Amino acid sequence: MPKIIPIKELKDTANISIVVRESAGPVYVTKNGYDDMVIMSTEEYDQLIYQLDILEKLIEGERAIRRGETVDATESIEKIRRRYEL
């Protein structure tokens, strides 16, 4: 269940910090009963950015496959071995 707080509670910054760190996800802040912003811990934010980066790389890889911009793995390894005399 998401944690939801009214914007007026942001005045108590020490308590908000505790609430955000202890919540299992982001804390939603409402203004006049409507969603206004989201607060999350830096650890949670960093994890989210990391996951988005991975997803972007996977999507780009899928696009490269569709465009035919791939090289056979065995051929690539052999090319590297010849190049570096391995």
Instruction: List pLDDT tens digits, range 20-78.
Output: 999 989 999 999 999 999 999 999 999 999 999 999 999 999 999 999 999 889 999 99
Residues 6 or more apart whose CB falls under 8 angstroms from that of 48 comprise 40
- Domain with 21, as residue range(s), is 3-40
- Domain tally for the chain? 2
Do residues 56 and 28 both lie within one domain? Answer: no
This prediction has a pTM of 0.72
Note the pLDDT of residue 52.
98
Note the pLDDT of residue 44.
94
Do residues 9 and 36 both lie within one domain? Answer: yes
Do residues 33 and 47 both lie within one domain? Answer: no
Do residues 9 and 25 both lie within one domain? Answer: yes
Confidence band for 14, pLDDT divided at 50, 70 and 90:
very high
Note the pLDDT of residue 2.
86
For residue 29, the tally of other CB atoms under 10 A from its CB is 19
For residue 3, report the phi and psi dihedrals to the nearest 5 degrees.
Answer: -90, 130
Note the pLDDT of residue 29.
97
Do residues 26 and 51 both lie within one domain? Answer: no
Do residues 30 and 52 both lie within one domain? Answer: no
